[in-house]
A and B are shown apart, each in its own frame.
Chain A
Amino acid sequence: MRSLIRWLAVLVALVAIHELLSEWLVRENLVSRLLSPGAHTPWLSLVVSSAFFAVRFATLFVLPGAMAWKISHALFFRESDPRIEPPDASRARSTHPERA
């Protein structure tokens, strides 16, 4: 559950950063300079635009799937359930010479 909350916090933080960056960039007109990219493109524009798209793509493409993975994992493999250990690990333990 704790890791789920951590992921949720990351999601909220990224969405907030995305909104703040959108608000700032739409005023500063920095990203549109990438429409004609080249050696002349200001580095600040390049860095900020890359950061914006990294955050946007992470928020849209990575986090929903990662959140779904965490939630489904929490549902299908309850953390308090001792049976959560993978089959390979339990087999390895049972065949350990000291425990055997």
Chain B
Amino acid sequence: MSRREYWIRKALCLGLSLSIGFVTPTMVCHRDASRWVADDADTQVSLANGVTAWVQSSELNTRSFSTSAQLFDDEWVFGTYFMAGMGLSQLVLAHPSEREARLPVIDHCIEQLLTERVRAFDTRLWRQDAFQALEHGGSGHVAYAGYLNLLLSLRRSIAPNPKLDLLNDKLSASFEKAILASPTRLIETYPGQVFPVDNMSAVGSIGLRAIALGQPAPSWLGSWAQTMRERFVDPSTGLLYQRVDVATGAPLDAPRGSGTAFGAYMLSFGESALSHELDVAVKRELDAQWLGFGGVREYPRSMSGFGDIDSGPVVFGVGVSATGFSIPSARRLRDGDWQARLLRTSMLFGAPHHRDHETRFVSGGPLGDALMFAMLTAPASPIVPLRRSYPEGG
């Protein structure tokens, strides 16, 4: 063998092994990702079964988590029921034949969210119960009641329930009053703390309630969105500030991926124009990709920062939460390539585990599984409530 032939053969070996080494992980992760991109009903139902098992488990409590802070453990229990309820409702809206089986589980999630145990984190920080405060014309509590109301509005799009619909009406009226009375058009998450992302849940819930009732959107929604654009969206990146001052509305934190993507998801239910702008900004400013995998940065490229309880771990600038929360953005933008890249990454790190028509993510746990379920089944188009003639239940 000549020297030239030897090195040609070596180069061929190297090229072949590198090609296979690069292509195999993408192909393996794409196998699961492609089912989600195609909205495969069996895949969605399988994860729904896994999430249902979590929320019906008697062991789901703060001991299921270990964030080192009681507040965050409590918030994660709340988040698990909320996300599970959202995901299951989205599943029913996409596949109405699932309604009979899933509605009792959705109602179980709502019942749990209404318990004192699950809303204790909000009560403790406010030193006042959310329902008592809102009943007496108070405001705030958006971290608890805003998210709850979004789920109630989504539940209302599936089937009526007099008790829950009444609560939905009360919460929506209370938030509308508080938002319009606030000089910043934002409500406090906790005393003295304002997070625009949490307000997106309240506003999304009000817009979605109108859709569920077949009513036109509230007239103030457009001007509220304009205020957000002018004051709480970073002009250079188009991303949402994570936290702002309660009195002046001045930014107290950077514009961030996790807050912007999650805010866009919740807002998409009731105010699609601003939601679309946030989706576009996330893709434009934060998209990161390598070898067929994709991630979303937590901070814009001109900034750097550490991870926190909102962002999850941040690795090489890419945030775990920002990446997961951006899957609905890719779905709404109908950007199949972006969606596939994000999903491959989710499958790589999430490590889906399938058994007996039940899917769970190895790195998911109760909150991770419920959150991924809600993100993976997020509607790509505005919600169309199930027909009134659909058999009533729940």
Contact = CB atoms under 8 A, between A and B. Distances in A.
A19 to B, nearest CB: 9
B16 A36 contact: no
B313 A35 contact: yes
Interface of A: 22-23, 25-26, 29, 31-42, 45, 49, 52, 56, 60-62, 64-69, 72-73, 76-77, 83-84, 86-87
Interface string B362-391: 111111100000000000000000000000
A36 B72 contact: yes
A77 to B, nearest CB: 6
Given A40-B68, A69-B13, A35 B362 contact: no
Interface stretch (B21-29, B84-92, B161-169): B21-29
Interface in B170-198: none
A78 B238 CA distance: 59
Nearest to A76: B9
B295 to A, nearest CB: 16
A76 B12 contact: yes
Interface residues of B, number: 42
B17 A72 contact: yes
B20 interface: yes
Nearest to A73: B13
Q: Is the interface of A mostly helix, strand, loop or mixed?
A: helix
Interface string B124-148: 0000000000000000000000000
B364 A32 contact: yes
B9 A26 contact: no
B297 to A, nearest CB: 18
A62 B21 contact: yes
B362 A86 contact: no
Given A26-B360, A26-B362, A31-B362, A60 B64 contact: no
B353 interface: yes
A36 B66 contact: yes
Nearest to B29: A60
Contacts of A25: 362
A9 B228 CA distance: 59
A65 B17 CA distance: 5
